[in-house]
Every structure is written in C-alpha cells, then in structure tokens.
Amino acid sequence: MSLIKKLSFFGICFAFVVIALGAWTRLVDAGLGCPDWPGCYGFVVFPTTEAEILLAEQRYPQFPYEIDKAIPEVVHRYFAAALGFIAILLVAFAFKYNLPKKIKAITSFLLFFICCQGLFGYLTVSLKLLPIIVTGHLFGGFITLSLFFYLFLSTTDGIRNHQIGHLKILGGIALIALLIQIFLGVWTSTNYASLACADFPTCQGTYLPDMDFSEGFNLSQEVGPNYLYGLLDNEARVAIHYSHRISAIFLTLIFMVLITRLWFSSAAPLASTLGVILVTQISLGIMNVVYVLPLYIAIAHNLVAALLLLATLMVNLVIWKNEYHD
C-alpha cells in the first residue's frame, strides 16, 4: 500500500505540472504548435536543425513551424504521457499485490480516464482546437488531479473525524458550484474571452454590457479551418467572461457560508485553508484583468483553482466521514 501511496503522490505532483503546462500551452497559443499527434511535424520530439525544419514545413505547409510554440506543446505531451505511465504502474501494483477492491477500482478508472484524456489531446489537434474538445481536455486535467488525490487519501488515514455537524448538502453544493466555475473559466480561456472585459469591476465601462449568451454558449459551434485566436464576436465573448465573473460571486457567497460553518467546529484549520486559497484565487482573477493577462499570473490562477478543488474535495470527504460515523 505504501508503494501506491508514493506513486499517487507523484501523480498529484505531475498532474499539477500538466495543468500548468496545459495552461501555458493555451495562453501562448501553442495548441497547434505541433499539427500532428503524437509526434511533432512527424518527429518524435520537435525539429531543431535547418534540414528538419525544412522537412517539417514541407509536410505541413499550412502550419508554419514556430519553435516557441512547438516546445510548450511537446513538453506538455511528454509530462501527460508520464502521468499515463504512473497510472499503468498503479494498476499493475494494485492487482499484483491484490490490494482492496476500492484501490483496484480507483486505479483502473484513473488509467481509463487518462486514456480518454489522451484521446481528447489527439482530437484537440486533429479537430483544430474545436472549443468543446479543448474545454473537455483542459477540464479533464482537473478531474485527473482529483482522482490521484482521492487515491492518495484512500491509502492513508489522513481523513480525521471532526465534530462539524451536518454539512453534506452544503459541501456538495460548494463542490458542484466550484466545478461549474472551473468549467466556465476553461470555456473563457478556450474562446479567447479572458480579456473581453478589460476593466474591473465594470465590463467595458458598464455593469451591464451587451452580451450574446446563445452564441457564447453554443457548445456545438462550428470553427472554420481552425479556432486559433477564436472566431466569436465581441458580444459572445463578453457573455462568456461576464458569466465567469457572476458565477465567481455566487461561488464566493457559498464558500463564505461553508467556511463560517467549518470555522465554528473542530475543522477550523480546514476553514482557514479554504479561506486563504479562495482569497488568493479571487485576487489572481482580478489581477488577470487589471494587468492584461500576464502569463505567470494566468498560470497561477489555474493552479490555485486546482488547489481549491482539492481542498473542497477534502472538506467533502471529511463531512461524509463525519456523517458516516454519526
């Protein structure tokens, strides 16, 4: 079991790296840095010599080679492949040492989910950044991290009993609201809507800008030759961005109630952790707008969202354990 614990911990670390690399790839518009999959212009890594670059551009004349975009894409792919390798080891050891059925089930589903992520990675390239596919791929990164985290907790006695009352419904609402908010954040990034509102707290100088929700949330939208730099008009992008902001307000209110309830219980440290992560995330979101989406702040915004997801998952597991023992 200790081997599974160590591997799942490595999986958590690698999943954080993959989320950061995915955000980096997305933010520098490197989603098509390699127009093929799993190679890069037909090479195992990426072209480096003049002869290789010439051959690459002959193979894909419609995609001029840019090494600054190929590097993020290739690095992201290889770290994601490492996650798959860790998942394979987890399944192999779980069955080899005949570990409990729960561990076998989690590791097997984890491997299956990572394989699905690989398929989405292929579709992201082959369908030329189709928004719903890119969104699913990026969102799947957060789910992968959560699965590694759940597996890690399942191999330890890290979930302690707390006298926190009956918070199952509130904790569930907070988790669902956070997942919706993460989805909206990913959809905002996918549709190049992060700077649709370049001011704060207003949006384009008003609290009620012109918005087109039907186009902004058309999940089956056609993308033309490819979706690099986006094809939505301004009102559709504003609708996406503004929805992310409004959702953040509701999410904050829900978490304030949850944190308050936890604070007046034996789980006060969990409340403090949630509060610090939440305030950090809100601050990063505002800084993204005010400072015009700096790369490292935008990546940090993704990583802190992942931290908030793990903390919220931990809170829910504590609540469920408390309810079970009651």
SS (H, E, C) the chain: CHHHHHHHHHHHHHHHHHHHHHHHHHHCCCCCCCCCCCCECCECCCCCCHHHHHHHHHHCCCCCCCHHHHHHHHHHHHHHHHHHHHHHHHHHHHHHCCCCHHHHHHHHHHHHHHHHHHHHHHHHHHCCCCHHHHHHHHHHHHHHHHHHHHHHHHCCCCCCCCCCCCCHHHHHHHHHHHHHHHHHHHHHHHCCCCCCCCCCCCECCECCCCCCHHHHCCCCCCCCCCCCCCCCCHHHHHHHHHHHHHHHHHHHHHHHHHHHHHHCCCCHHHHHHHHHHHHHHHHHHHHHHHCCCCHHHHHHHHHHHHHHHHHHHHHHHHHHHHHHHC
Active-site residue, 215 included: no
Active-site residue, selected from the candidate residues 73, 215, 222, 323: 73
Query: Active-site residue numbers?
Result: 73
